[in-house]
Amino acid sequence: MSGICVAILLRDAGITDVTIFEKAADLGGTWRDNTYPGLYCDVPSRFYQFSFAKNPRWSQVFSPGAEIHAYFRRVAERYRVVEQIRFSTEVVRAELDGDQWRVITSTAEEKRVDFLISATGILHHPRVPSIPGLETFAGSAFHSARWDHRADLDGKRVAVVGTGSTGVQIVCGLAGRAAKVELYQRTAQWVIPFKNRPYGRLVRTAHTVLPWLDDLGYARVRRQLGFFARALIAPGWRRRTLDRACRKNLDSVTDPQLRRRLTPTYEPMCKRLIVSSGFYDAMQRPDVELVTDDIDHVEPGGIVTSDGVLHEVDVIALATGFDTHAFVRPVQLVGRGGVTLDELWQEGPFGYLTVAVPQFPNFFMLLGPHSPVGNYSLTSISETQGTHVVNWIKRWQRREFDSVVPTDEATAAFNESIRAAMPGTIWVTGCDSWYLGKDGVPELWPWTPEEHRRRLLAEPPRSDFDFQVGSATRPAKSL
């Protein structure tokens, strides 16, 4: 999604010598990889889309994954991004060579470029737990982002491991379809309800003929999520409002025993908040069971929990999340003086203003460390970061510099300010989550998304950067 976004922003700026390396045979990133039953985006579609390519024909407030994937494909085709993509070509290494990057692919091809932009996503590398005996399971077992569509689900017994946004959506998608769904919960989650409404033909037609309705819808959801973001970063009435909504939602579970087992021991929104109107209804169905005993091991016939019970199942879906700290990797990135990104990030990923890294000139990241990814729309964040990158490249085209890199001092100061802002946020109130880095500091933006936009779209302070000017002969511009 973010690669498509930046390619379009570059084209708009007249920069068309762009190569997109895509390791898969298709585009779409997370929307290509995730195809599990019940998949939808819990950010309303009116705002989970590019501001420059709004879709008036979304089918519902929260659209299903396949529809979102089709949207990105359409946009990529309309803006001729597809022509720039080298499919089935993985970047394995990129080395700084003078003022340029030498990119080496899995097909042993080399390409020299003036700027290197990573758009490799955050929730990309599946985290598969090492459960003893998993490999002996006689049925189908797979990670949620590698759904095996050969596995028959209708009338089968399905175990879903994990209660994040993915696990919750899968349970809702399978309840009533599978003969039995068992949800294996290690930690209970807070859930906020939001009704998903279909958009009727009249609404879709109105948005098609009156594009300003799309603009209004985009702005309205952006405002709503701005409210949400404020609740996350500072205590106050917004946080209390959402807190109450989560607790009231939990009250809809009528069996006190089940309600108690579904009650988290930390504050709402500390982990990424789950948006679902159907979850508690699904959990109260007779054919859906909550399992809170630890998984001990897997046998050919099913899952054995720590109390010794064998839960016989036909399918195991591992909704166990992703390695969220693997930004950019496993690409070997080699910057100034031979330093690798792995070495620089030994203690965890960090950057300057979410987009740049010291020692790695003319390299920019989309959705890099500390991007505002909470429950916000990543399409919007990508647009902001993409515009920031394009602004740098336009300056390079004007010959203001040959290479640019944030200084160590400015990067350290930025990260210090992040640490200083964290204590007010909900993410540090006592829970474990994929947000937390090795050092326990959330890898998130602790200010508003508007502040992110403001800072990235303003010209950053000159003193924060090390510019090299006139040190290189400029070869043909290629990106």
Q: List contacts with ligand NAP (CB under 6 A).
A: 41-43, 123, 129, 161-167, 169, 184, 186-187, 272, 295, 319-321, 432, 434
Q: How far is the CB of 467 from ligand NAP (least distance, A)?
A: 36
Q: How far is the CB of 353 from ligand NAP (least distance, A)?
A: 22
CA dihedral defined by 52, 4, 452, 145, rounded to 10 degrees?
Answer: 120
Q: How far is the CB of 446 from ligand NAP (least distance, A)?
A: 17
Taking the least distance from each CB to ligand NAP, the nearer of 319 and 356 is 319
Pairing of strands 85-86, 302-305: unpaired
Taking the least distance from each CB to ligand NAP, the nearer of 194 and 467 is 194
User: Residue 465 belongs to what H/E stretch?
Assistant: strand 465-468
Taking the least distance from each CB to ligand NAP, the nearer of 186 and 248 is 186
Length of the chain: 479
Taking the least distance from each CB to ligand NAP, the nearer of 98 and 348 is 348
For 135, other C-beta atoms within 10 Å of its C-beta total: 8
| Half-sphere exposure of residue 136: CA atoms within 13 angstroms, side-chain side | 11
Q: How far is the CB of 15 from ligand NAP (least distance, A)?
A: 31
Q: How far is the CB of 29 from ligand NAP (least distance, A)?
A: 12
* Residue whose Cβ sits closest to ligand NAP: 164
From residue 209, how far is each of 187, 216, 240, 466 by CA, in Å? 47, 14, 40, 49
Taking the least distance from each CB to ligand NAP, the nearer of 205 and 306 is 306
Question: What are the strands of the beta sheet with 100-105, ordered from one edge?
Answer: 110-113, 100-105, 91-97, 332-334
SS3 414: helix
From residue 170, how far is each of 232, 321, 349 by CA, in Å? 26, 13, 31
Taking the least distance from each CB to ligand NAP, the nearer of 129 and 235 is 129
Q: How far is the CB of 199 from ligand NAP (least distance, A)?
A: 18
Taking the least distance from each CB to ligand NAP, the nearer of 2 and 403 is 2
Q: How far is the CB of 312 from ligand NAP (least distance, A)?
A: 19
Q: Report DSSP letters for 238-293, one per residue.
A: HHHHHHHHHHHHHTT---HHHHHHT--SS-TTSSPPEE-SSHHHHHTSTTEEEE-S
